[in-house]
Amino acid sequence: MSEEKRFEQQTQRQLSDRDGVAWRRYARFTIGKPCFGAMLLYELITGVFCGFPGMLGYWFRQKLYPFLFTSFGTNVIIGRNVSLRGATKITIGNNVSIDDNVVIDARGEKGSITIASGTLISRNTVLRARNAEIIIGEGTDIGTNCILATDSRLIVGKDVLIAAYSYLCAGGNHTYDRTDIPIIQQGFVSKGGIVVGGDVWIGSHAMIMDGVNIGQGAIIGTHSLVNCDIPEGSIAYGQPATVQGSRLAKVKNSDV
């Protein structure tokens, strides 16, 4: 992974900037740009149809939500009360299913989120890219109550399984060297984000830390804390997670 980089705490300062016009700050936060017309369209569509129940609600969102996004594929299902932030910086592929109460937040000028075709995002899950990028590969299944957050980059490969209550924390760590100012004002250090290879299975309640690269076909056990790279095809678990076996070895043995 890349070397450590230091970042400033920006979002709170931008939202509390008293020199800016209130609606512009709100527009940047919700749609990703200070455009009054786009903000009104966002307010109208989400205000009326965000929580609209039943099949009719799904149909309205499928027809109207494409106007909010950078790109919006065909056969997309969006559940009730899905919260969108920076929708103009979000790309959604074909046959994507987003369940109720999901939060998709592309925050800041450089924030972007790409959700590839065939992805399932289960209810109450949060995707948050703060001046950074999240890329979710095709056919990935993200369970309920997960958090995928980054301040640098978070890349998830194709056909990945992420079980419920998992936390992919690519946001870095707050610095605390000084005692004369609050920690929140000291910024944070990123180790380059998280990269998860294709065909990976991450068990429930796992936590993947910033700077980690999980290789193709690896398995991460439930309740694991992953703070170092996991090689391709490995089976790893524990706190911190260590390699306990290999899927590749099992494949080789079965060929004998």
Percent of residues, the chain, with pLDDT higher than 90? 64
What local confidence, expressed as pLDDT, does residue 2 receive? 46
CA distance 158 to 198: 5
28 — pLDDT class (breaks 50, 70, 90): confident
Q: How many domains does the chain have?
A: 1
Count of C-beta atoms within a 10 Å radius of residue 191:
19
Global pTM reads 0.86
CA distance 115 to 93: 6
CATH number where 28 lies: 2.160.10.10
pLDDT value at 64 more than 60: yes
Q: What is the mean pLDDT of residues 207-224?
A: 97
What local confidence, expressed as pLDDT, does residue 188 receive? 77
Residue 215's alpha-carbon distances to 63, 218, 235, 246, 253, in angstroms, are 38, 6, 11, 12, 21
251 — pLDDT class (breaks 50, 70, 90): low
pLDDT digits (tens, 9 = 90+) for 185-214: 887 788 889 999 999 999 999 999 999 999
CA distance 239 to 166: 14
Residue 108: exposure state from Cβ atoms within 10 A (0-12, 13-18, ≥19): buried
Which of the residue ranges 52-56, 184-188, 248-252 would you say has the lowest mean pLDDT? 248-252
1 — pLDDT class (breaks 50, 70, 90): very low
Task: For residue 240, give its domain range.
Answer: 5-255
